[in-house]
Each structure stands twice: as structure tokens, then as C-alpha cells.
Chain A
């Protein structure tokens, strides 16, 4: 059973608008969450992270929100740009599990000009 789920396999957004990517998790031991971005034929690259002691972390156009009671996090991209078109993976780790990350299935974001 997947402990980290991204229920939307794809998302299409107009350039300049907001992109919202969602992620749900089931393991209450997860205390650190990350988002990775992946372009075709490349490895994933780290985008942004959030600790469970926070409910929001912002880095430029990217903001991650964490709702621990709902076991839900989301990534907001504002404004969306065509270069943001990629697959986005949500990942989670538990502090007592070393650096083992559990990934979601990914959401393909397409930003249309």
C-alpha cells in the first residue's frame, strides 16, 4: 500500500496562473517532506522541503503547505511558467529511518503558453 500518494497523474495550467499539486500520506511517523522536479531523460532535482514543525515554506515562486491533521501537503507555483512543465514527485521521510525517502507516483504538470 502506497504511503505517499499523488492522486492526480497530470495537471494542465495556463502560463501566469497558479499551479497546485497535491500529495497525501498515511504514515504518521513522517516528519519531513520534499518535492522533486523531473524533466524527461534527467534525474529528479530537489525543489523545496518542509519540516513537520512548520505549516508553510516559501522559496520564490514555490510554496509548500503542510496540513498534518489531514496528512496532506501541497505545492503552489505562482506564477506558472512553461519551463515548469515537468513531473513533480512528493517525498516523505521519518527521522528515525535514516535518509530513506518514500516517493509518490508523480504528477505531470503542463504549463501552456
Chain B
């Protein structure tokens, strides 16, 4: 079953604009991760944020985490056509479990 739900399901913006995607999850987590997937390819890890962190940056990416609301957001600033892809959040619960549980994804289209 999917742990997370991304919102919106699809997003279309113009190059240079910012893109914001949201993720909600159901259970307490150890960390939350964001991945990108280009059409028909494997996933690429973008960024990881721990449960005790509230914000993290990596290049043009900014991730926030609100554990009280069980939600996270991914902001891509100054988007480029090459950012066109599906973006997934994935959660890792604590304890001995090692698996990541992925959300349903946001399909981002960046047009010139």
C-alpha cells in the first residue's frame, strides 16, 4: 500500500518558475526522501530529511517537513525543461524496518 500521497498529481509550469509539490503520509517516520523519475527509467534520489529536521536545501531544491501535520513539501526553484519528470516522496519508519514506502507521485511538466 502507498504510505504517501502527493499533491498535485500533475503540475505544468513554464521554465524559470518555481514548482511546489506536497506529500502527506500516515504513520510516524524516521526520515522522508524525495526521488525523481524520468519516463521509463529508474528513480534518482534527490534529498533526505530526518524526522528531527524541519528544512533542508540542496542546490535548487528546498524540502520542508512538518511531522505534526505528517506532511512535506518539495520546492524546485527556477525550473528548467530538464526538471520534467515524476517526483515521489518516500518514507522510512523507525525500528528494524528498512524498506521505503513511496507515494503516488507528482508529474511535473516544465515548458519552454
Are A and B subunits of one complex?
no
User: Which A residues are within 8 Å of any B CB, using their own CB?
Assistant: none
